[in-house]
């Protein structure tokens, strides 16, 4: 089952009159699904700019997550989703914490981003097709790739409970990889080429988290190296310190 299939199941299972926040909503494609199957749910969206084709269902707010906080109170949304946003941010640690903050206690957070496998290969031919085979093929990627383990641990650092963390891949596209790639090339179909490449390699990683029911206070970043579990308590640092840790520097010392 693909990440989007799991996300759709999560939306269907939301309580009556639930609220969803789509971080980096773009045209609001998920809102069309919500409107069709759960019209009682309100969909809010934030992004750098308002997309020209943004669905009228989405209650939009313009937000730059690199310098601004999410403009909603803590514990506000039943489901927060972020698909291919973290890799566009320089302060992804703080942005992740913001998403945790606005998720309701007992609610869920869904995060999807290019995986570490997305750095394996870049396609140097047919550049006019604008193929994205490598993480670095997109010049707006200023962050980092994410392994399922990294997404899992980031959730733990912010007090979330990871439910599932894995690569998104298709067994069928792994088996039929060569013929599908050849067919995409012969048909001059960039969409088929990219979709086959991504699903065969596990180009995308995703994680679904639950916010503990008792986590009602402001989200705090607790960093633990996990090298010596059971030997001392986790450190509690501010979001600025968390960003410094994930950048590899804290108080002038390499972590």
Pairing state between β 42-47 and 19-23: parallel
The values of phi and psi at residue 45, to 5°, are -135, 145
Task: Please give the distance of CA 189 from its chain centroid, rounded to a whole number.
Answer: 27
pLDDT 10s digits, 34-82:
988 999 999 999 999 999 989 889 999 999 999 999 999 999 999 999 9
Asked, for residue 32, whether it belongs to a domain, the answer is yes
Pairing state between β 103-114 and 77-83: parallel
Asked, for residue 109, whether it belongs to a domain, the answer is yes
Task: Please give the distance of CA 164 from its chain centroid, rounded to a whole number.
Answer: 13
Given a contact cutoff of 8 angstroms between Cβ atoms, the answer to whether 91 and 66 are in contact is: yes
Asked, for residue 238, whether it belongs to a domain, the answer is no
The pLDDT of residue 246 = 52
Using 50, 70 and 90 to split pLDDT, how confident is the model at 254?
Answer: very low
Q: Is the pLDDT of residue 4 over 90?
A: no
Count of CB atoms situated within 10 Å of the CB of 22: 27
Q: Is the pLDDT of residue 255 over 70?
A: no
CA-to-CA distance for 249 and 67, rounded, in angstroms? Answer: 20
The residue-averaged pLDDT of 195-211 equals 96
Range(s) of the domain holding residue 132:
3-219
The pLDDT of residue 232 = 47
| Burial class, 29, CB count within 10 angstroms (exposed 0-12 / middle 13-18 / buried 19+) | middle
The pLDDT of residue 190 = 93
pTM of the shown model: 0.86
Taking phi first (over 0 means left), then psi (-120 to 50 degrees means alpha), and beta for anything else, what does residue 209 get? beta
Given a contact cutoff of 8 angstroms between Cβ atoms, the answer to whether 80 and 21 are in contact is: yes
The single-letter DSSP state of residue 34 is H
CATH code for position 130: 3.40.50.150
| Burial class, 211, CB count within 10 angstroms (exposed 0-12 / middle 13-18 / buried 19+) | buried
DSSP assignment of 200-236? HHT-EEEEEEE--TT--S---EEE--SSSTTSSPPEE
The pLDDT of residue 223 = 84
Asked, for residue 34, whether it belongs to a domain, the answer is yes
pLDDT 10s digits, 107-147:
999 999 999 999 999 888 878 888 999 999 999 999 999 99
pLDDT 10s digits, 167-190:
998 999 999 999 999 999 999 999
Cα angle at 195 between 191 and 198, to 5 degrees?
A: 140
The pLDDT of residue 5 = 86
CA-to-CA distance for 59 and 48, rounded, in angstroms? Answer: 14
pLDDT 10s digits, 16-37:
999 999 999 999 888 888 988 9
Count up the domains in the chain and report the number: 1
Average pLDDT, the chain: 88
The pLDDT of residue 3 = 82
The pLDDT of residue 228 = 54
The fraction of the chain above a pLDDT of 90, given in percent, is 70
CA-to-CA distance for 70 and 82, rounded, in angstroms? Answer: 13
The pLDDT of residue 236 = 53
3-15 core/surface letters (b: 16 or more CB in 10 A; e: else): bbebbbebbeebe
Pairing state between β 103-114 and 204-210: antiparallel
Asked, for residue 57, whether it belongs to a domain, the answer is yes
């Amino acid at each position: 089952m693909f990440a989007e299939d799991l996300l759709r199941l999560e939306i269907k299972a939301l309580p009556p009159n639930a609220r969803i926040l789509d971080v980096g909503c773009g045209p609001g494609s998920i809102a069309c699904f919500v409107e069709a199957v759960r019209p009682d749910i309100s969909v809010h969206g934030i992004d750098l700019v308002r997309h020209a084709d943004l669905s009228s269902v989405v209650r939009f707010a313009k937000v730059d997550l690199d310098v601004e906080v999410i403009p909603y109170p803590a514990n506000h949304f039943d489901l927060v989703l972020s698909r291919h946003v973290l890799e566009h941010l320089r302060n992804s640690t703080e942005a992740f914490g913001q998403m945790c903050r606005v998720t309701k206690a007992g609610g869920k957070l869904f995060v999807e981003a290019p995986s570490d496998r997305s750095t394996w290969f870049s396609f140097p031919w047919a550049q006019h097709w604008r193929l994205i085979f490598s993480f670095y093929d997109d010049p707006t990627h200023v962050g980092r790739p994410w392994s399922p383990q990294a997404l899992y641990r980031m959730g733990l650092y912010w007090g979330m409970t990871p439910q599932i963390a894995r690569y998104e891949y298709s067994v069928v596209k792994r088996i039929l990889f060569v013929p599908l790639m050849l067919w995409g090339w012969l048909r001059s179909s960039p969409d088929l080429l990219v979709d086959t490449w991504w699903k065969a390699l596990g180009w995308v990683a995703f994680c679904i988290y639950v916010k503990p029911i008792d986590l009602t206070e402001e989200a705090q970043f607790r960093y633990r190296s996990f090298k010596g579990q059971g030997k001392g308590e986790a450190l509690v640092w501010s979001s600025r310190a968390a960003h410094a840790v994930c950048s590899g520097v804290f108080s002038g010392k390499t972590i």
